[in-house]
A and B are shown apart, each in its own frame.
Chain A
Amino acid sequence: MKLLNCPHLGARPENEFTYGGEVRVQPDPDTSSDAQWADYVFNRQGRPGTHHEWWYHNPTGIWFIAERDTITDRFLRIELASPERLKEAGHG
């Protein structure tokens, strides 16, 4: 079984975690155009590389923001989700 070496929880089986998708920063719904909103809702960074992603640890209910190489499937950095971390990870 593949283990995920989480700095906060220790080595845990990967199947305890749920992938939550790419980190996106939501534009202001009141001021954004339809095109900006569609871009936020649908478009993704599909090409390979280091992605910022949401990961949820099911047993503890903790959300993480992780950096993962989407070619090698290696986690490069796992941090607790916080407003500062979200701001740093967001591409928008």
Chain B
Amino acid sequence: MPLRLLRFALSKEHKEPRFFRERPELKDKYDAVIIGGGGHGLACAYYLARDHGITNVAVLEQGYIGGGNTGRNTTIVRSNYLTPEGVQFYDKSVKLFEELSEDLDINLFYSTRGHFTLAHNESSLRTMRWRAEVNKHYGIDSEVVDRQAVHEACPPLDLECGGQNPVMGALYHAPGSVVRHDAVAWGYGRGADERGVEIHQKTAVTDIKVEAGKVRGVQTNRGFIHTDTVISMVAGFTPRITSMVGIDTPIEIHPLQACVTEPMKPWLDSIIVSGSLHVYVSQSSRGELVMGASLDPATLHSTRSTLGFVEHLSDYMLDLFPFLSGIKVMRQWAGMADMTPDFAPIMGTTDIEGFYLDAGWGTWGFKATPVSGKTMAASVAAGRNDPLIEPFRLSRFADFQLVGERGAASIGH
């Protein structure tokens, strides 16, 4: 037993340092207020403090940190997107993730697995060749492989898929990884706290005060805060925040469900995705299969999960892996995904001075945690959009300049 544990056993006071300080009072004024204490919000606070010296910052979280979509995703990190804008953005995120355990001094269990997106028909293969060429152009390790390569990487996978949807090949992305998502939030939270940022849990924003097109402050359930800068990083709650400042967006909320099986001995070391079968699956370091499927078809502001979801997912999982028929599903849950029409995020400045939006994270937000924090912090510090996020600005819809990323989404659609 480590001595550290023994010390706790003998001590009446548990002095193990907390990840961040409990702040009893809200201050009257902050230089910046971040709404949402998930990965994105805490990462933004961390980079504001570390890279730009802006430390008089409050992160307001209505629940507890990392309790929203940061803790509800299937933890996959990859950069094999379809558009040049998306590929460069997510590539930066993967690079930040690879260094993040050391940067934050916390073991994130960052585990590079290799990521297979299966093709079951010619049109999927065609999109994959397209993706691979865009990826390679930007230096991303990404290639189309044949079904034999899939078999060698994952022998238990039934390449015939029960005869209905035989695997014809796959897009292989070697840097594809999984990472412990809670620790990403904790690590960023601790790093931000150490640099003076205040993290306030159970603090809900009820209104945002705007005067003459400028942000003046936020009303919370614990009182009013004066500030000229508000950054909304609330994923599925985005429409409630944007309606406080009167901004219209294309965002609609759909539940995205996921589940895990009981733990098994390790047998799956790669990440397997099939858009046609509405499945993505990896095996966690605890041995559970972490599985996701497709969005619920109708909008819903709820994190309820359904039997129908598990039935459909199991159906397709058994096409891929028939030997799992005796394995039990242990837990299921849902997150509220803030979907955009082009499957790309909405980031940066808005028509309201001092109001910044980091939203539209739909089903692709977790993997962007480091880069969104870094680029949003840079945009806030400079007062204009970082070049990397300029294509994702809210005004792209009014300009009819969409970033069509739908073909690179893992979720079924």
Q: Which of A39, A41, A45, A48 has the most CB of B within 10 A?
A: A48
Given that A15-B308, A70-B301 are contacting pairs, would A46 and B253 also be in contact in the complex, using a CB cutoff of 8 Å? yes
Q: Is B341 an interface residue (CB 8 A)?
A: yes
Residue contact A38 to B398, C-beta cutoff 8 Å? yes
In the assembled complex, the CB of A61 is this many whole angstroms from the nearest CB of chain B, namely 18
Residue contact A39 to B300, C-beta cutoff 8 Å? no
Residue contact B397 to A38, C-beta cutoff 8 Å? yes
Q: Chain B residues near A42 (CB, 8 Å)?
A: 250, 341, 397
Q: Is B148 an interface residue (CB 8 A)?
A: no
Residue contact A73 to B300, C-beta cutoff 8 Å? yes
Q: Is A47 an interface residue (CB 8 A)?
A: yes
Given that A38-B400, A42-B250, A46-B252 are contacting pairs, would A19 and B298 also be in contact in the complex, using a CB cutoff of 8 Å? yes
Residue contact A46 to B238, C-beta cutoff 8 Å? yes
How many angstroms from the CA of A73 to the CA of B298 in the assembled complex? 9
Q: For residues 296 through 319 of chain B, which have their beta carbon under 8 Å from a beta carbon of chain A? A: 297-302, 304, 306, 308
How many angstroms from the CA of A72 to the CA of B300 in the assembled complex? 8
Closest to B311 in A: A1
Partner of A46, one of B239, B298, B397: B239
Residue contact B302 to A39, C-beta cutoff 8 Å? no
Q: Is A76 an interface residue (CB 8 A)?
A: no
> Chain A contact residues (Cβ within 8 angstroms of B): what range?
20 to 34
- Does more than half of chain B's interface fall in helix, strand or loop, or is it mixed? loop
Closest to A51 in B: B299
In the assembled complex, the CB of A92 is this many whole angstroms from the nearest CB of chain B, namely 12
Given that A38-B397, A38-B398, A42-B250 are contacting pairs, would A47 and B243 also be in contact in the complex, using a CB cutoff of 8 Å? yes
How many angstroms from the CA of A73 to the CA of B336 in the assembled complex? 14
Residue contact B302 to A43, C-beta cutoff 8 Å? no
In the assembled complex, the CB of B100 is this many whole angstroms from the nearest CB of chain A, namely 31
Closest to B250 in A: A42
Residue contact B300 to A70, C-beta cutoff 8 Å? yes
Q: Chain B residues near A71 (CB, 8 Å)?
A: 300-302
Q: Is A67 an interface residue (CB 8 A)?
A: no
How many angstroms from the CA of A82 to the CA of B31 in the assembled complex? 53
Given that A19-B297, A39-B248, A42-B341 are contacting pairs, would A47 and B240 also be in contact in the complex, using a CB cutoff of 8 Å? yes
Residue contact B300 to A46, C-beta cutoff 8 Å? no
How many angstroms from the CA of A35 to the CA of B395 in the assembled complex? 10
Number of interface residues of B (CB under 8 A): 26
Q: Is A58 an interface residue (CB 8 A)?
A: no
Residue contact B398 to A46, C-beta cutoff 8 Å? no
Residue contact B249 to A43, C-beta cutoff 8 Å? yes
Q: Which of B240, B252, B299, B301 has the most CB of A within 10 A?
A: B299
Q: Is A44 an interface residue (CB 8 A)?
A: yes
Q: Chain A residues near B118 (CB, 8 Å)?
A: none
Q: Chain B residues near A19 (CB, 8 Å)?
A: 297-299
Residue contact B250 to A44, C-beta cutoff 8 Å? yes
Q: Is B251 an interface residue (CB 8 A)?
A: yes
Q: For residues 330 through 387 of chain B, which have their beta carbon under 8 Å from a beta carbon of chain A? A: 338, 341
Closest to A35 in B: B398
How many angstroms from the CA of A44 to the CA of B338 in the assembled complex? 12
Closest to B247 in A: A43
Q: For residues 9 through 31 of chain B, which have their beta carbon under 8 Å from a beta carbon of chain A? A: none
How many angstroms from the CA of A48 to the CA of B255 in the assembled complex? 13
How many angstroms from the CA of A1 to the CA of B309 in the assembled complex? 11
Closest to A18 in B: B297
Closest to B395 in A: A38
In the assembled complex, the CB of B250 is this many whole angstroms from the nearest CB of chain A, namely 4
Given that A18-B297, A46-B238 are contacting pairs, would A73 and B302 also be in contact in the complex, using a CB cutoff of 8 Å? yes
Given that A15-B308, A38-B400 are contacting pairs, would A44 and B251 also be in contact in the complex, using a CB cutoff of 8 Å? yes
Q: Chain B residues near A38 (CB, 8 Å)?
A: 397-400
Partner of A47, one of B239, B304, B399: B239
Chain B positions near chain A (C-beta within 8 angstroms): 238-240, 242-243, 248-253, 297-302, 304, 306, 308, 338, 341, 397-400
Q: Which 6 pairs between the two chains have the least Cβ-Cβ distance?
A: A46-B239, A48-B301, A19-B298, A47-B239, A42-B250, A42-B397
